[in-house]
Amino acid sequence: MNSINSLFEKHRSTLDSALKALSNRTYYTAYPESPKSYQEDGDSKARVWIGSILNQDFKSLHQTEESEWNGVEISPFLQTGIGVKYPVFTVDALINKAEQAQKIWSKTSVEVRAGILIEALEKISNRFFDIAHATMHTTGQGYMMAFQASGPHANDRALEAVAMGYQELTRFPQNVEWIKNLGKFDLKINKDWNIIPKGIGLVIGCSTFPTWNTVPGLFATLITGNACIVKPHSKVILPIAIVVEEIQNTLNENGFDTNTVQLAVGSEKIQITKQLCEHKSVKMIDYTGNSEFGNYIETLPKTTFTEKAGVNSIILDSVVDLKSVLGNIAFSASLYSGQMCTAPQNIFVSEKGVNTNDGIVSFDEVSNGLADAITSLVDNPKAGAPTLGAIQAEATYKRVQEAKNLGGKLILDTKAIKNEEFEHARIATPVVIVLDKSQKEIYNNECFGPIVFVIKTEGIDDSIQQAKYLANEKGALTCGAYTTDENTKQKIKEEMNSVYVPVSFNFTGAGFINSHAAFSDFHLTGANPAGNASFTNSEFVAKRFVLVGNRYM
């Protein structure tokens, strides 16, 4: 066990820095986001690796006794199947192995668990380039986003969960002598507290951010002493399979049961998601995906952490420089073709227009200016294709193609642009539609993908109320607001915060409402219909274990 304990000492400075960052909430990263910070030949080796894994069985996992092999992933850039197949296990097999692994892992000290998990993150960081190419060819993310989001940013979120878990697990003393003076004598009682992990956790991944959305729940489950089963989206498995592989490698090297973490892949013969959700031995579920299945998850008699769909708004009131604002919104709406859970959809603008330093700009000029800004971005041969990436799902592509039939005034239709590297990439540029606030039936639900509605309101108070209503009824992960008036800013903040939505004010330049920083920004609040959890507050980890006290006279 000395070598295992040494892992904690090896990574103690990383953990201490992460713990400090949790309190300070200032900028911190343990994993720089630039590819230049990693192996110089990392990308060239990853290109060879991705070529070698195509049409092969993924045999790197420490999982045996599979029932069959299955894989149905399709590259949005190539629009052909990548051919990778993964071992398929029955629900009983997954549960039985998790239960055996849980017995040892739950009794392992938090220091040992932390050391192993941070060591695993170090191993994962050596695979960032592999993960980037795996993410590209399953989700359609552009290269830089795939590298950053599935690599360094995901690792930061995982480390954040480890640090928060360590902090919560060590918050209270393990034992004390309790003394109460009763006059002539003292009543003395010795007390101790046992931390009891809740049991097997299930993490259900999504199709667009397979690691970033999965690792917070995965590492929060593990640091709190629970075994974990990872069920990725059937069309996006490869990126998180690499993560599971490296965690299992670390467990194996340190003498722990590799089934402490298992990858769970289904097939036509073995449908496992609902069976796992409803299995009595699964005590916790982390879920990212559509609201319908998320609502089902929340009805189960288990501890659940959900991120579902939301309708994100921008309130446009007054600005210093309208061109820079519209350029910023255009990028936010175009980034990864609007397939981010934080992407803006509804932009509320007064019928009176927008106040600027150069005077009032009319509603029509604002909406047409946004369309022009999007066109300038997507038509830029150096910026357009890398920003848009590709459309992950055929259903999303079809939704964008048919958006012009939704109603309202179409001022920018989608079109295909050329990707120099991938000629068959499934690309659709953003659609912009002008609506009146009365056309709620069109804009009051999430239209996933690059679809933007510019909605005419009676004024700033009306814009605020429309955005607030949608957040309260449908949920929202983000809200952007542009105003130069301090009273208006305060009102927007109070009204949107009252329905548990964070607001990003006056973002221009390199600041985008889509992006949330680990150790500083909480992702979701967990208190509106967009989801019941928050990455990564104390509740996100504390609900995964129970403190049980004992008293001795």
Phi, psi of 494 (to 5 degrees): -65, -45
Q: If you count them, how many residues does the chain have? A: 553
Same domain, 36 and 131: yes
User: 194 has which bridge partners?
Assistant: 548
What is the residue-level pLDDT of the chain in tens, covering all 553 positions?
A: 446 679 999 999 999 999 999 999 999 999 999 999 999 999 999 999 999 999 999 999 999 999 999 999 999 999 999 999 999 999 999 999 999 999 999 999 999 999 999 999 999 999 999 999 999 999 999 999 999 999 999 999 999 999 999 999 999 999 999 999 999 999 999 999 999 999 999 999 999 999 999 999 999 999 999 999 999 999 999 999 999 999 999 999 999 999 999 999 998 888 899 999 999 999 999 999 999 999 999 999 999 999 999 999 999 999 999 999 999 999 999 999 999 999 999 999 999 999 998 899 999 999 999 999 999 999 999 999 999 999 999 999 999 999 999 999 999 999 989 999 999 999 999 999 999 999 999 999 999 999 999 999 999 999 999 999 999 999 999 999 999 999 999 999 999 999 999 999 999 999 999 989 999 999 999 999 999 999 999 999 999 999 999 999 9
User: 382 has which bridge partners?
Assistant: none
Tell the burial category of 75 from Cβ atoms under 10 Å away from its Cβ (0-12, 13-18, 19+): buried
Same domain, 343 and 445: yes
Same domain, 303 and 319: no
Same domain, 229 and 333: no
Q: Yes or no: say if 428 and 391 are a contact pair by the CB < 8 Å rule.
A: yes
424 found inside a domain: yes
pLDDT tens for residues 345-398?
999 999 999 999 889 999 999 999 999 999 999 999 999 999 999 999 999 999
Same domain, 144 and 238: yes
144 found inside a domain: yes
Q: Is 86 helix (H, G, I), strand (E, B) or coil?
A: strand
Same domain, 290 and 321: no
Q: How many domains does the chain have?
A: 2
What would the two tokens of residue 365 be?
């000029």
- CA separation for the pair 130, 481 (Å, rounded): 38
Same domain, 288 and 406: no
545 found inside a domain: no
Write out the DSSP string of 453-490: EEEEESSHHHHHHHHHHHHHHH--S-EEEE-S-HHHHH
- CA separation for the pair 409, 404 (Å, rounded): 8
- What sign for the dihedral angle of Cα 107, 122, 202, 230? negative
Q: Which pLDDT does position 268 carry in this prediction?
A: 82
Which parts of 151-263 fold into alpha helices (H)?
152-169, 215-223, 238-253
User: 346 has which bridge partners?
Assistant: 313, 453
511 found inside a domain: no
- CA separation for the pair 506, 317 (Å, rounded): 10
Q: Can you list the pairs that 435-443 forms with residues at least 24 positions away whose Cβ atoms lie under 8 Å?
A: 435/407, 435/408, 435/409, 436/408, 437/348, 437/462, 437/466, 439/407, 439/408, 442/406, 442/407, 442/408, 443/311, 443/345, 443/346
Question: Which of 423, 373, 429, 372 lies closest to 400 in space, CA to CA?
Answer: 429
CATH number at residue 378: 3.40.309.10
390 found inside a domain: yes
Could you say which of 490, 505, 520 is where a domain stops?
Answer: 505
520 found inside a domain: no
**Cα-trace Rg, the chain:** 25
pLDDT tens for residues 445-481?
999 999 999 999 999 999 999 999 999 999 999 999 9
User: 431 has which bridge partners?
Assistant: 451
Same domain, 293 and 346: no
Same domain, 268 and 372: no
- Which of 453-490 are b and which e, b meaning 16 or more Cβ less than 10 Å from the residue's Cβ? bbbbbeebebbbebbbebbbebbbbbbbbbbeeeebbe
Q: Is 65 helix (H, G, I), strand (E, B) or coil?
A: coil
Same domain, 304 and 448: no
Residue 68 is inside which H or E element, if any?
Answer: strand 68-70
Q: Yes or no: say if 314 and 357 are a contact pair by the CB < 8 Å rule.
A: no
Could you say which of 283, 308, 333 is where a domain stops?
Answer: 308
Q: Is 175 helix (H, G, I), strand (E, B) or coil?
A: strand
Could you say which of 486, 505, 524 is where a domain stops?
Answer: 505
To which residue do tokens 């049409």 refer?
A: 55
Same domain, 186 and 320: no
Q: Say what the pTM is.
A: 0.96
CATH number at residue 31: 3.40.605.10
Up-side HSE of residue 56: CA atoms within 13 Å toward CB? 10
To which residue do tokens 């552009």 refer?
A: 142
532 found inside a domain: no
Write out the DSSP string of 308-321: -----EEEE-B-S-
Write out the DSSP string of 398-445: HHHHTGGGSSSEEEE-------SS-TT----PPEEEEEETT-HHHHSS
Same domain, 162 and 301: yes
Which parts of 109-213 fold into alpha helices (H)?
110-125, 128-139, 143-150, 152-169
Q: Which domain holds residue 225?
A: 2-308
